[in-house]
């Protein structure tokens, strides 16, 4: 009869010490990761935008660098300066004019010098809201201070929301400028950065798939960016021509605003609906031309919903519906930044899933058996 083996206390002590070392190391790694994320989190949005901008503008950067003798840093500096001038200058000018207009409006209401023109009879025949709008407009024309006093609580709430929106836009503009600067630095070191990114993906997914993931991610970001800008340009061109045909004043300026709204993924209806209202209320149009221009401008304002399925995802090794759903879903959850992240994530997920479907071991065995049988028969 075999006697029971004595417990090896030395082995137990070694295992316990080893497990304790592993737990301590894992805990330190998690603590380090948490600290890194904690200090990096305030800059996460800006860095993601910088990465998207660098990936999107890198072909342009390389084209410019080749024209100036391969000077990567100078090319990045020129692109960043041009972007800052294009973004900041119009924004500051529009903000200044908007502030002056608001100041004059408030001063006119306070001094009772602001005159509201009488409404047109066409306003009253508008469906659903025509009579209410005509009545309020007529009251404002006759006694504006009384209307302002009756709506003062709503106007105060609206003013506070507008100030918050303006402050948010200022912060977003500043963040975007810094993102462009960081993107310029990334583009100046683009070759080494691309190599580092590929090595990271290769370490995660293997040598073959790492390269494939890098190419797919880059192509998806560029496809979404080019699709957004292309759609905005096409829509601005369509509506600009429509505004010129309709004889709307400042058609070129309105088309430029539509272009900016399209790039920012805001609906062009923000411009076309007020223009349609002006056509019916303030413009000297007969009923048939007014209706035709209204339909034309409304359809043009909705054109991006038709163009997105056509242009998003071109040149990407993933089906267009996958890119479109990822872009729209990401934009619905996380805004413009989510549009890029959602499209890239869904494209990568689709490729990984389809690769898993293709790597069916049972199918591979059947193919191998079939090849062996064919060799024997031959």
Q: What is the 3-state secondary structure (H, E, C) of 162-180?
A: HHHHHHHHHHHHHHHHHHH
Contact 214, 230 (CB under 8 A): no
**Nearest 5 degrees, angle CA 48-CA 164-CA 168?**
15
One domain, residues 183 and 212 = no
One domain, residues 230 and 166 = no
210 domain residue, yes or no: yes
**57's tokens:** 């503008």
Residue 270's domain comprises 206-358
One domain, residues 226 and 156 = no
One domain, residues 82 and 128 = yes
pLDDT at 164 over 90: no
- CA 267 to centroid of chain Cα atoms: 13
Indicate the residue among 159, 188, 217 that finishes a domain.
Answer: 188
pLDDT at 304 over 90: no
195 domain residue, yes or no: no
5 domain residue, yes or no: no
First to last CA, the chain: 64
One domain, residues 128 and 248 = no
Per-residue pLDDT tens for 252-279? 888 888 887 887 777 888 888 888 888 8
- The helix/strand/coil state of 371 is helix
One domain, residues 59 and 177 = yes
Q: In which band, very low, low, confident or very high, does the pLDDT at 35 lie, cut at 50, 70 and 90?
A: very high
One domain, residues 111 and 164 = yes
One domain, residues 82 and 138 = yes
126 domain residue, yes or no: yes
Q: In which band, very low, low, confident or very high, does the pLDDT at 124 lie, cut at 50, 70 and 90?
A: low
Percentage of the chain exceeding pLDDT 90: 6
Nearest to 229 by CA among 352, 56, 76: 56
Per-residue pLDDT tens for 214-227? 888 888 888 888 78
Percentage of the chain exceeding pLDDT 70: 77
215 domain residue, yes or no: yes
13 domain residue, yes or no: no
The residue that leads in pLDDT, 268 or 102, is: 268
**Cα separations (Å) of 304 from 284, 320, 324?**
29, 16, 13
**Stretch 160-169: mean pLDDT:** 70
Contact 134, 119 (CB under 8 A): yes
176 domain residue, yes or no: yes
One domain, residues 168 and 220 = no
Nearest to 343 by CA among 227, 260, 210, 259: 227
Contacts of 179 (CB under 8 A, 6+ apart): 46, 47, 49, 50, 53
Contacts of 192 (CB under 8 A, 6+ apart): none
The residue that leads in pLDDT, 33 or 369, is: 33
Q: What is the pTM of this model?
A: 0.69
For residues 179 and 56, what is the distance between their CA atoms, to the nearest angstrom? 13
One domain, residues 180 and 234 = no
One domain, residues 51 and 176 = yes
Label residue 49 exposed, middle or buried (CB < 10 Å: 0-12, 13-18, 19+).
Answer: buried
350 domain residue, yes or no: yes
Per-residue pLDDT tens for 138-155? 777 666 677 676 776 776
One domain, residues 220 and 312 = yes
- Please tell me the total count of domains within the chain: 2
pLDDT at 1: 45
């Amino acid at each position: 009869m075999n006697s029971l083996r004595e417990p090896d206390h030395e082995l137990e002590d070694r295992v316990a010490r080893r497990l304790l070392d592993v737990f301590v190391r894992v805990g330190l790694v998690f603590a380090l990761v948490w600290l890194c994320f904690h200090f990096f989190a305030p800059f996460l949005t800006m860095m993601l935008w910088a990465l998207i901008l660098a990936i999107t503008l890198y072909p342009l950067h390389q084209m410019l660098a080749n024209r100036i003798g391969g000077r990567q840093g100078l090319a990045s500096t020129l692109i960043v300066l041009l972007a800052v001038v294009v973004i900041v200058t119009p924004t500051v000018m529009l903000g200044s004019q908007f502030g002056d207009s608001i100041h004059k409006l408030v001063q006119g209401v306070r001094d009772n010098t602001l005159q509201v023109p009488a409404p047109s009879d066409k306003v009253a025949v508008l469906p659903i809201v025509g009579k209410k709008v005509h009545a309020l407009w007529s009251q404002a024309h006759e006694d504006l201070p009384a209307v302002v006093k009756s709506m003062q609580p709503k106007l105060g709430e609206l003013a506070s929301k507008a100030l918050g929106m303006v402050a948010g836009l200022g912060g977003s503009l500043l963040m975007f400028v810094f993102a462009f600067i960081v993107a310029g630095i990334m583009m100046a070191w683009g070759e080494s950065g691309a190599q580092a990114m590929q090595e990271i993906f290769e370490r995660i997914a293997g040598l073959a798939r790492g390269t494939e993931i890098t190419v797919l991610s880059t192509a998806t970001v560029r496809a979404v960016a080019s699709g957004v800008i292309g759609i905005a340009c096409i829509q601005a061109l369509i509506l600009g021509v429509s505004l010129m045909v309709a004889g709307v004043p400042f058609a070129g300026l309105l088309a430029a605003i539509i272009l900016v709204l399209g790039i920012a993924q805001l609906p062009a209806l923000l411009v076309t609906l007020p223009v349609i209202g002006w056509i019916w209320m303030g413009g000297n149009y007969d009923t048939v031309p007014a209706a035709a221009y209204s339909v034309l401008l409304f359809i043009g304002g909705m054109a991006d919903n038709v163009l997105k399925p056509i242009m998003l995802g071109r040149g990407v090794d993933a089906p267009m519906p996958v890119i479109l759903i990822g872009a729209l879903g990401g934009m619905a959850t996380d805004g413009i930044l989510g549009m890029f992240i959602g499209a890239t994530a869904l494209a990568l997920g689709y490729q990984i899933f389809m690769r898993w479907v293709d790597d069916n071991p049972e199918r591979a065995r059947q193919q191998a058996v079939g090849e062996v049988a064919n060799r024997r028969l031959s």
